Chains A and B, each alone.
Chain A
Amino acid sequence: MQPIIVIGFLNNMKVLIEIAYALYMGFYTTLKNLFRGPFTEEYPEYKRPLPARSRAQIILTSDPDGQERCVACYLCSAVCPVDCISMQAAEADSGRRYAKWFRINFGRCIFCGLCEEACPTSAIQLTPFFENSKRDILKMVYEKADLQVDHCGKDKNYNFYAYAGIVTKSAGKGEHVKEEKPVDVRTNMP
């Protein structure tokens, strides 16, 4: 027999063996998966605990002492890419600013979290609760009463008015955290 024919025959056998091996591996892999059991988490029965920072339903949080954090600065409204936040500012007798009304249209909200980043007082926060779909689109518009909660959310200790240096009934000039008493500038003269 010619050596070339032998080599050709051996090469063909090699290809055939490769094909057979590839088929075997393919069928073996799928069969292995058949007995591995499903990875599926069945949603309504099992709800995977979501990370605290996952972004869904928006809330307005309160100070550690229980007062509203929101000072109605309009920063969230300004940064919102879909213009779903609107409010009107007002000032209480105590000197604190607050939102007279505050409205988020969740029909528009894309849960981007930019409002949370913009907020100077940690008032507006996103929570992991995402099951907020509704059959009536008008019910997707949340008013302040629907948004306001009486806890601090993710930022447990921050109290804007304790640091801000703004005179309110609770703290006057020089009475805030890390703030010194006002100095009479004339005493600095030589």
Chain B
Amino acid sequence: MWLWTLGYFILMAKITLVLTVVLLLAAYLVLVERKLLGRFQARIGPNRAGIFGILQPIADGIKLLVKEDVVLDGAERGIFQLAPVIVASMALLTFAIIPFGKPIIIGGHEIPMVISDINVGLLYAFALTSLSVYGVALGGWASNSKYALLGGIRGAAQMISYELALGLSIVPVVMMAGSFSLVEIVNAQAKWPFIIVQPLAFIIFFISALAESKRIPFDMPEAEAELGAGYHIEYSGMRFGLFFLGEYVQMQVLGALIAVFFLGGWRGPFLPGPIWLLIKIIGFSIIMVWIRATLPRFRYDQLMTLGWKILIPAALINIVITGVFIVAF
């Protein structure tokens, strides 16, 4: 019984740790992004709240919390209120399966440095990232506004173009690791990260992950130039904040997934595991900011062409080649 209680507390401690890091990082990614975008455009970026604008996320958070939470008369009330929760919670839940370090051994008991090592973790991750599209589509539909509806429809259209390529590009990784469990996939990369043997899969996954994150150049659901703010145009206060938070947590999720599948997860020389995972996540986020600063937005028929005519065939060919190599050697 006491062992069960202890295990419960250890689990709670791990959840607290991961949530704290993820949420803090999400808040400060906003600042990093604004600062970096400023520099990319030869501006300074926010620097008024505290030194280097270090208090800016806190100020933004307070602002979002105290603003009025408007629910429109014409909106489908329940769904309208549920949509941002779906987006934010699906993004956060994905972190349950990301391994963030070597298991520690205390008193003969092995404590895995992952909240939950599901043996179909990869499917769980894809299920959650796909579910978060429901938040976008439902939020857009429930807003009872044409711009939001267009944004939601685009979100769904975008999902069917990248999701298949996203899933197929990972199949070679699963074939090489021989497991759906993220812990096993990381362990399979003990010798070398999969990016070396699977560069094509990495590129396909990276492009699909950009589309998954709904950021420039694939921000058709948001498209502030054409649709105002797209699916979250009618949201205000902390409900908008949840969409916003969801986007930045999603960036981290995708960074973490790329790290786990291709860059060896928490593995790396000299530094401890969690630090390496953080470095990889932040590096991926910075590359996403760079891409945002450089590329214009695609049309969504262009994304569909890219997804169906290029990425999916490339991923299929990659699977066949990997299969041949695995059988041959």
Contacts and interface: CB of A to CB of B under 8 A. Distances in A.
A33 B42 contact: yes
B124 interface: no
B266 to A, nearest CB: 29
B295 A26 contact: yes
Contacts of A40: 42-44
Contacts of A38: 38-39, 42-44
Contact of B293 (A30, A36, A37, A42): A30
A168 B39 CA distance: 65
B41 interface: yes
A29 B293 CA distance: 10
Contacts of A33: 39-42
Interface in A5-54: 26-27, 29-31, 33-34, 36-40, 42
> For this complex, into which size category does the number of interface residues on chain B fall?
10 to 19
B293 to A, nearest CB: 5
Contacts of B119: none
B302 interface: no
B294 A42 contact: no
A52 B77 CA distance: 58
Interface string B30-68: 000000101111111001000000000000000000000
Given A30-B293, A31-B290, A39 B39 contact: no
A42 B290 contact: no
Nearest to A40: B44
Chain A, interface residues (CB within 8 Å), range: 10 to 19
Contacts of B39: 33-34, 38
Instruction: Among B38, B47, B290, B294, find the residue whose CB has the most chain A CB atoms closer than 10 A.
Output: B294
Contacts of A37: 42
A27 B38 CA distance: 15
Interface in B189-236: none
A26 B296 CA distance: 10
Interface string B286-298: 0000100111000
Nearest to A39: B42
Interface in A95-149: none
Contacts of A30: 40, 290, 293-294
A30 B292 CA distance: 10
A72 to B, nearest CB: 47
A40 B293 CA distance: 18
Contacts of B38: 38
A39 B45 CA distance: 11
A36 B295 contact: no
A30 B295 CA distance: 10
Interface in B268-317: 290, 293-295
A26 B47 CA distance: 27
Interface in A149-172: none
A36 B42 contact: yes
A38 B295 CA distance: 21
Contacts of B295: 26
Contacts of A27: 290, 294
Contacts of B44: 38, 40, 42
Given A26-B294, A29-B294, 10 more contacts: A26-B295, A27-B290, A27-B294, A33-B39, A33-B40, A36-B42, A38-B38, A39-B42, A40-B43, A40-B44
20 contacts: A26-B294, A26-B295, A27-B294, A29-B294, A30-B40, A30-B290, A30-B293, A30-B294, A33-B39, A33-B40, A33-B42, A34-B36, A34-B39, A38-B38, A38-B39, A38-B43, A39-B42, A40-B42, A40-B44, A42-B44
Interface of A: 26-27, 29-31, 33-34, 36-40, 42
Q: 5 nearest interchain CB pairs?
A: A38-B44, A30-B294, A40-B44, A26-B294, A30-B293
